[in-house]
Amino acid sequence: MARPDITQYSVSFRNAPRGYSMLTRLLDKEKIKSEAMHTARCGDRIAVQFLAPKSAKLREKLEKTGAAVQEDRIFQLELPNRASELHKLTKALADEGINILSLYSVVEGDQIRMVLAVDEPANAVALVERLGFDPDYYVFEL
């Protein structure tokens, strides 16, 4: 079975109530599932991030709402849910000058599953492999 080309959309806007309203209406119309949706305040902007199949049409519609839209390639990995392992991962990325743009996590028993977007995905995936983890560009629902 072909793996869907999933991308992470980061949609940001200033006017939160109006922006939310337009965004949720659009996502509903486009039948975008929102299980992996994350909202955060960054300065004076609200950022809504979600995973969806890559679509130029969806991006165009998002931009028409007046929001700033960014797409990032994502990958996931599992690692032991220990602070030392998380430190090892983030230190290795920082030492290589790789910036983490977003991160979602789910704790599953002794493991933590993370979905990351970084500014240098290919370099980050190679680095994560060298650390002994098994990253995958295929991301299933969180």
Partner 1 sequence: MIEKKSTRYVLQVENRPGELMKLMRIFALEGIDIRGIKVASVGDIASIEFSAVTAPDFSKLLKQSGLEARIAS
1 interacts with partner 1 by CB under 8 A: no
Binding window for partner 1 (CB under 8 A); candidates: 23-31, 51-59, 104-112, 127-135: 104-112
99 interacts with partner 1 by CB under 8 A: yes
Query: Which residue stretches of the chain are H helix?
Result: 16-29, 56-64, 83-95, 121-130
Cβ atoms of 82 and 88 within 8 Å: the answer is no
> Measured in whole angstroms, how far is the alpha carbon of residue 37 from the centre of its chain?
9
User: Quick check: helix, strand or coil at residue 116?
Assistant: strand
Helices (H) and strands (E) in the chain, counts: 4, 7
Binding window for partner 1 (CB under 8 A); candidates: 20-28, 52-60, 84-92, 127-135: 84-92
Binding window for partner 1 (CB under 8 A); candidates: 20-28, 38-46, 54-62, 126-134: 38-46
Binding-site member from 18, 28, 87, 136 for partner 1 (CB under 8 A): 87
Q: Given the complex with partner 1, which of 55 and 102 has the nearer CB atom?
A: 102
